Structures are given as structure tokens and as C-alpha cells.
Homo-oligomer: A and B are copies of this chain.
Amino acid sequence: MLVRFIAALSLLFTAVPAMAEAVSVDSPGKVLKVTLDLNGEGRLHYRVDRLGKPVIGESQLGFLFTDQPQMLRNFEIVGQRIREQDDTWTTPWGEDRTIRNHYREMIVDVSEKSPLRRRMVIEIRAYDDGIGFRYRLPARDSGKATNIAEELTQFRLAHDGKAWWAPAFESNREEYLYNATQVSGIATAQTPLTMVLTDGTHVSIHEAALVDYSGMNVARVEGTLLKAVLTPSSTGAKVSRTGEFTTPWRMVTITPDAPSLYAARNLVLNLNEANKLGDVSWVKPRKYVGIWWGMHLDTQTWASGAKHGATTENALKLIDFAAKHKIPGMLIEGWNIGWDGDWFANGWDFSFTKPYPDFDMPRIAAYARKKGVHIIGHHETSANIANYEAQLGGAMDYYRANGIDAVKTGYVSDAGGVQARGADGQIDFEWHEGQVMSRHHLKVVTEAAKRRIMVNAHEPIKDTGLRRTYPNWVSREGQRGMEYNAWGVPKNPPVYDTELFFTRMMAGPMDYTPGIVSLKGRGDTDILSTLARQLALYVVIYSPVQMAADLQENYEASPVAFDFIKQVPVDWDETRVLDATVGEHVVVARKERGRPDWYVGGVTDGSARNVTVSLDFLDAGKSYNAIIYRDGPTAEAGPKGKDMIRESRVVRRGDRVELAMAPGGGFAIRLSRR
């Protein structure tokens, strides 16, 4: 019996004027408009229109709690103010050197009517290409924590259309092929969740500044009505916070096409707080090689024994290789005690300060320093953060003492959750994207920052733009990277990258670890890529730390490809998507930071595709040497992938380059100003 309907109808029958009320804010260019309103029951809704047409329809706001009544209805607006902000800030590293932050913000104070009279604030920022909103909840009168059972935020898409999404809550990790369905075919999705509506509007839902809160997933209720579903916790409340706090920003980028959608991703940075670390000149974008791929090919092991990868001999040899080719970084996995036995389900055995006997850390560290190669450390935790946090300070000190200024962390686990030390001292199993892990990751990042160490997190929490506030958080995995092409079932199909670009890559850099020039995975299996595409990935999939992931001997056997890989930058002044269709192909151009050179990369799905690259972005009046790496006439992703042509020509601004991509192929172009 839904008496709230009776209550509402009673109001109508007794002719009390409806309590409906609406306030709205336009983006600076009056492109997007966010309206907050109340219906007759005092239920808060928001909606978003683009140029007067609905994109997000009436969508609910509110909270369920574990220990107090829900905040959902019976509200009134008690205050509202609007302001505009327009500034430009400089990134210490990134895809763009400067980013403009131009929005109009509306802050709305709402209060329940009697008897509870609880209050909250909705903060809304409207940009021309996206919106963000968050809740600000006050401290509870009782001083108790605010215990959120669920956030009741909805996203009611105004139209159906196409959607690309990775399933949430499966195996406690983010690594899934995308489902390409209708919006009305979404089940429960991770964010970023990207859609192209029937009217062509491109929409991507994500969140910014996930700090001390639970990660938001997006589930479909029915039709095209979507809602937030927070990640669970072992203790009941998905989020527990004491005192006043804000939720992360719920952000929706809304643009008319694919290139402008990618450009809109900077909203995630704009919604984050400015750099808190001060001087971050020690944070260095870097190319790197590693003792790594061999373990994924199963020709080496992390564990000790005859095939141990992380030996002194192997490390020294790889340092020589890196130094010879001027690759500044070198990752070493399997250096530390703990990999023997069933580490996968356990994690308790890992020491983060004790190397294996066959790994002479001081000697290797000294040699690396002498040769100008920076070792990247590795902290595989097996998702046992009880063990990791107990050693964290000492582990970072140990790296600092050995001149290691970067660490790749990992949270692989089949234990069915992250093992964390609870308040009662017992071990709780938590989710990779829950509140406990949101805290853990920032703890790792800040402890690393104290020692001037960069962090690259694998099996991480999703990227919500905190790299702006903590610029040592340089990259993360958070999807199926190149290792899936070693042993994944299935390997990454060509379409995957064209979906990844508009979903995962809307959030931030990915340590995809490209560059497998052999085009072979484990057991001589074929990777579904061409050689030209392997090069393209360095331009298409952004990360300030980029691995030349293949074995030394494979690079030595592929000097032409390796040449490009060594040269391609990892830090950029500017990024432009020239041509793209979500789930089909991407062509992106980037200008090297601090230099006049440009790079263009293109990838296609399983279909061959001809593209025309318009060189409109080159400096006027200059000529450029273009070196083009493209699929040869017989190339196809797979065993025929190695057919690559490298050609040169001189080009100028306005020139058009015609390129044919093979099925599952791509191309890369280096444009160096003459």
C-alpha cells in the first residue's frame, strides 16, 4: 500500500498548491543546463538539457542509511547561489599542458520539512561539455557517523542508443571486455560508462575525486533509467563518514560527437583539487622496459627457481639494454620474497624489503644508477593490504634508499576480496572499489610521495582524477592490458581498444604496456594486432609511463619498430582526436611537450578502414618530416600482422595523408619539424 501516493493525491484534493519548485544553472556558453526540482512530495530531482533538448530526464537524488531514515522526499529548497569561474591551469605532466576550467556553479541548500529537518547541499557545476554534481552532507546532530547504505542517485537517459560497458561486481576487479549493447541492454556497469544516444549525443558517466568513499557503479533499473550502486563493505554501510563531508563528483560529459567527447574528459581533472604535493619536479614521465613479459609467456617465473626472472644477471643485462637504447626506466617483478607457494590466494608471504637471494639489490641499484637507468619497483600485494600496510613505510624507505623512484603496485587476488585489517583487528574482506580501498590507495600514494616515489597501481581502484591532487600517482591498469594477449581467454580483440579509448581512457592514463613487436603471446599464440598497431598504441593509449613490453631479443630483431617505440614521447602539450567513432576506430594527434613535434596514431576494429589524416594542427609556414608506419598490403591482425611499411615524406600544415588500416590494424606517424 503506497500511502505516499495517497498523501500526494490528498494534497491535490485539498487544493494545497503543489510544492514543486525548480532552480537551474546554464553552462557559460549556454550549451548545457542543469535543473534541480522538487515534485509534489518534496522529492529532489535533477535533469540535464543540451541546447534545450533533454539528455538526462528527471532523475532522483537521495540516500539510504543503515541507521536513520532515508533522505529522499519531503524536501524544500532553502537557499541557492550561482557563481562563474574561468581559469586555466598547468599540468605537471599529461595529455595537455594547460587546461581551461570554465564553469558556472550552483549551490543549492535543501532541507527536509518537519519533523526531521535534516539538511544537505547539492553542488552543481555546468560546463559546456559536461556537468558535475555532488552532495555535501552535514555532521549528524548526534555526532554519530553518517552511514550510507546506498546512494539513490539516478541517471535517467532521455533516449535509448548504444552503450559500451564493462560489468561491475564480477570477480572483484575491472578487467573485462566491453559489452556493446543498447542503453536499455545495460545490466550493472563500471564507470566510465559511455553511450551514443539515438540523436547522436555522446554521453559518458563517471565520477571525480573518489576520496574516502565507495566507488560508484551504474546499474540499469528498467528501460533507460540508470542508477548509482555503490560498492559494498564488509561492515554494512557502504560509506561511513563522521562530520561534514562531500561525496565524489558525479560527472556526465555530454558532447555532440566522439572527438569532443574525448576532449571533455578533462572534466575529471577540473573537478579535482589542485596539486597538494608542492614541488613535483621529481615526477618524471618515462619509457621503461622490464623483467615482466617473460613471466606472462611462462618462460620465466616470479617465483624462485631455475626460471626465476628477477636475478642479478638478468637485471644487469637489461640495464645494459635500457642504457644502450636510452630507455630511462626498468621494471623488475619477482625480486622479493613471497612468490613461492600459493601467493595468489594468500599474500601473507610477501616481504617488501627482502629480496630473493639471487637478486642483489644494492649491486643492481648501483649499476642502474651508474648507467642512468631508473629501476621501477614492484609491490604485488595479492590484495592483502593488512600485510602491505604493515610494511608500507619500511617498503618505501627501502626503495628510496636504493634509488628506486617509482613503484608498480598490484592487487591480484583470488581470495574473494581485499584482505584488510578491520577496526577490531580481525581480517575483513573488502572490494577493490570500496571505501576501505579508496583510503588505502591514497595512503600508498602519500607515503610514496614522502619518499618522492611515483605510483603505478595495477588491479587498482578506478581513476577519478586524483592525479591532479597527487601528481605522483602517474598511472594505473584497471582494464585488460597487453598481458591478456599473452594468456587471456580470449585475447583482446581489435574492437576492444576502440571501446577502451572512450570508456577507460576517459578516466585517465592506463599502463597498457604495449609494444609486443613479436605479435606473439604465450605458447606462440598470435596476438590480434598488426605491428603498425603496436606502435599506434603509444600514441592512442595515453600513459606518462609507457612500457616497451616485449623481450629484449624481440626488439633487437625489430629495429624499425623499436626505433619508433624509443622515440615516441610520453608527455604532451596538446591532444586532439582527429577522427573517431566509438567502438570502430580512433585517430588521435598529440604534440610532444616542450618540442614542436607531433605524433598521430590510429587504430581500427576488426574491419579494414581508410582514413584521411588532415594535418591542420601543424605550425603554419613550417615543413615537417613525416615518418609513417602503416599496415602493409597483406597485413591483418594476427599471424599476418608483421607486414608493416615505413615511409617518409615532407609535409606541411593542411596536407592530407591517406592511410589504409588493415583489419585489426593501425598506423603511427612521427612529424618532426624541419
Contact = CB atoms under 8 A, between A and B. Distances in A.
Interface of A: 1-7, 9-10, 13, 63-74, 115, 149-150, 167, 170, 175, 179, 181, 184-188, 219-223, 232-237, 295-296, 298, 342, 344-345, 410, 412, 414-417, 426-429, 458-459, 483, 487-489, 522-523
A565 B158 CA distance: 45
A368 B10 CA distance: 33
A188 B68 contact: no
Given A5-B488, A175-B2, A429-B68, A149 B344 contact: no
30 contacts: A1-B412, A1-B458, A2-B488, A4-B414, A6-B296, A6-B487, A7-B344, A9-B298, A9-B523, A10-B298, A64-B416, A64-B429, A65-B429, A66-B417, A69-B415, A69-B416, A69-B429, A70-B417, A70-B429, A72-B416, A167-B221, A167-B222, A187-B187, A187-B188, A188-B219, A188-B220, A188-B221, A232-B236, A233-B236, A234-B237
Contact of A417 (B149, B184, B458): B149
Contacts of A67: 234, 426-429
Contacts of A233: 236
Given A232-B232, A236-B236, A487-B9, A412 B65 contact: no
A470 B625 CA distance: 85
Given A1-B412, A70-B417, A459-B1, A523 B345 contact: no
A41 to B, nearest CB: 9
Contact of A1 (B64, B427, B483): B483
Given A221-B167, A429-B66, A5 B487 contact: yes
Nearest to A72: B416
B415 A219 contact: no
B2 A412 contact: yes
Identify the interface centre among A185, A342, A428, A522: most chain B CB within 10 Å of its CB: A185
Contacts of A150: 232
Closest 9 CB pairs of A and B: A70-B416, A66-B234, A187-B220, A236-B236, A69-B415, A235-B236, A64-B416, A179-B222, A3-B344
A66 B175 contact: no
Given A70-B414, A70-B415, A73-B414, 10 more contacts: A5-B488, A6-B296, A68-B429, A69-B417, A115-B342, A149-B416, A149-B429, A150-B232, A179-B222, A184-B185
Nearest to A41: B414
B3 A412 contact: yes
A449 to B, nearest CB: 25
A487 to B, nearest CB: 5
A74 B416 CA distance: 13
A501 to B, nearest CB: 20
Contact of A187 (B5, B222, B410): B222
Nearest to A1: B412
Contacts of A73: 414
Nearest to A12: B523
A226 B236 CA distance: 24
Contacts of A63: 416
Nearest to A175: B2
A64 B413 CA distance: 13
A288 to B, nearest CB: 17
Nearest to A178: B222
B187 A219 contact: yes
A412 B67 CA distance: 18
Identify the interface centre among A9, A13, A65, A414: most chain B CB within 10 Å of its CB: A414
A342 B6 CA distance: 12
Contacts of A417: 64-66, 69-70, 149
Nearest to A220: B187
A281 to B, nearest CB: 31
Nearest to A181: B184
A72 B298 contact: no
A9 to B, nearest CB: 6
A64 B172 CA distance: 10
A640 B414 CA distance: 63
A238 to B, nearest CB: 9
Contacts of A7: 344
A578 B184 CA distance: 35
A187 B459 CA distance: 26
A221 B187 contact: yes
Contacts of A115: 342
A523 B8 CA distance: 13
Nearest to A3: B344
A317 to B, nearest CB: 24
Contact of A13 (B221, B296, B298): B298
A305 to B, nearest CB: 13
A186 to B, nearest CB: 7
Contacts of A234: 66-67, 149, 236-237
Nearest to A431: B149
